[in-house]
Structure 1
Amino acid sequence: MNKLVECSFCDPEKDKAQVIVFENKFCRYLQHPEHQTILEGSGLIVPKIHRQTVFDLTQEEWNATYELMQQVKEYADDKYSPDGYTLGWNVGEASNQSIPHAHFHILPRFADEPFAGKGIRAWFKSEENRRPSR
């Protein structure tokens, strides 16, 4: 199986439900209706060229990601009026990167959601996540 051929981020039109909301020369901002049912307004910024992780991005892709992030925030503020945001990259299986194409999560957060207040820090403040002693 060739992951580049089957990567839904390399060719987002293959997934008919996936929506390209914004794009620039180097990146796209994608939303999928399936994810909107749980976290309204959530989406991903992905480089157009296949890059496995955020560490593989070029300077142009970083700049393009920043430009889209600002555009997405303005859009999400106007459309969804979130109370905050969680932003992040997952890199590798241990971090739960399930698609091997770099993707930057932009998650509007709302005070009335069940996991409000549970952001990125929850993982390293939780005793349950402590590694076994060596």
Structure 2
Amino acid sequence: MIMSNDKCTYSLLKEQEIRGAGIIVPKEHRETVFDLTEEERMATYRLLFEVKEYLDLNYEPDGYNVGWNCGHVGGQHIFHSHLHVIPRYADEKMAGKGIRYLFKNLRQPDPDR
């Protein structure tokens, strides 16, 4: 654990695909972001800005991806709510590609549209 407040903690991921990647996790079990209490949501976002200061100081990223995966189909593999905080760097292979890049390039025509 790197930092915390009364409702949540922030830790770097053990296996980092991008240096500095981590998650903010509520202390109480909540399956998805939609299950967080109002106090937990506010505490998560307060901690997010502290995490950004920490990452800016220690990793000097050029950008960020921040996001939640909710439910199995949404890519959630650990069913305890967690907010991904992923620093991004200009020199990485996927620089300039946001979280929707994969979806845009894999999009199949929808026959009902």
Same-fold call, TM cutoff 0.5: yes
* 1:28 alignment partner, one of 2, 5, 9: 9
Determine helix, strand or coil for the equivalent of 2:58.
helix
Over aligned residues, Cα RMSD in angstroms? Answer: 1.4
Q: 1:27 to 1:94 in 2, by over 3 A?
A: same
Q: 1:131 to 1:63 in 2, by over 3 A?
A: farther
Give 1:131 deviation, angstroms. Answer: 6.2
* 1:130 alignment partner, one of 98, 108, 113: 108
User: Which runs of no fewer than 5 residues in structure 2 stay unpaired?
Assistant: none
* Number of residue-to-residue matches in the alignment: 112
Using CA pairs under 8 Å that are at least 6 residues apart, name the structure with larger relative contact order, 1 or 2: 2
- Determine the structure 1 residue equivalent to 2:76: 97
* Residues 14-57 of structure 1: CA deviation (Å, up to 9, x unaligned): xxxxxx1011110000113322xx31111000100010000000
Give % identity.
50
Q: TM-score, normalised by structure 2?
A: 0.91
- Determine the structure 1 residue equivalent to 2:91: 112
Q: In structure 2, how many angstroms separate the alpha carbons of the residues matched to 1:131 and 1:74? A: 42
TM superposition outliers: structure 1 runs of 4+ over 4 Å: none
Query: When you count helix as a share of all residues, which structure comes out higher?
Result: 1
Conserved in 1, the CA contact under 8 Å of 2:13 and 2:23?
Answer: no
Q: TM-score, normalised by structure 1?
A: 0.78
* Residues 42-79 of structure 1: CA deviation (Å, up to 9, x unaligned): 10001000100000000110111011100000010010
User: Which runs of no fewer than 5 residues in structure 1 stay unpaired?
Assistant: 1-19
